[in-house]
């Protein structure tokens, strides 16, 4: 059974020096694979949320090339 990932957990996972830059020092590009299917490199991302103040759902909208 897979666990849902919270926004702080996702940020912590991605926001590390080893994830930000490759061995050459160039920024890494983020590619997207969903259920084993390669979608492409992320060209735009938007984090949006809604709710009643007690429980808020978060949506990560991605655009790929």
- Write the pLDDT tens digit of every residue in 26-46: 998 888 999 999 999 999 988
pLDDT, tens only, 44-60: 988 887 777 766 778 88
Q: Which of 59, 28, 30 is nearest to 44 (CA)?
A: 30
pLDDT, tens only, 3-24: 788 888 888 888 888 888 888 9
For residue 38, count CB atoms less than 10 angstroms from its CB and return exposed for 0-12, middle for 13-18, buried for 19 or more.
exposed
pLDDT score at 39 = 92
pTM for this predicted structure:
0.59
């Amino acid at each position: 059974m897979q666990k849902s990932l919270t926004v702080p957990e996702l940020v912590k996972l991605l926001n590390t020096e080893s994830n930000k830059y490759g061995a050459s020092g160039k920024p890494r590009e983020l590619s997207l694979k969903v259920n084993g299917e390669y979608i492409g490199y992320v060209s735009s991302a938007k984090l949006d949320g809604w709710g009643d103040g007690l429980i808020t759902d978060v949506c990560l909208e991605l655009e790929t090339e």
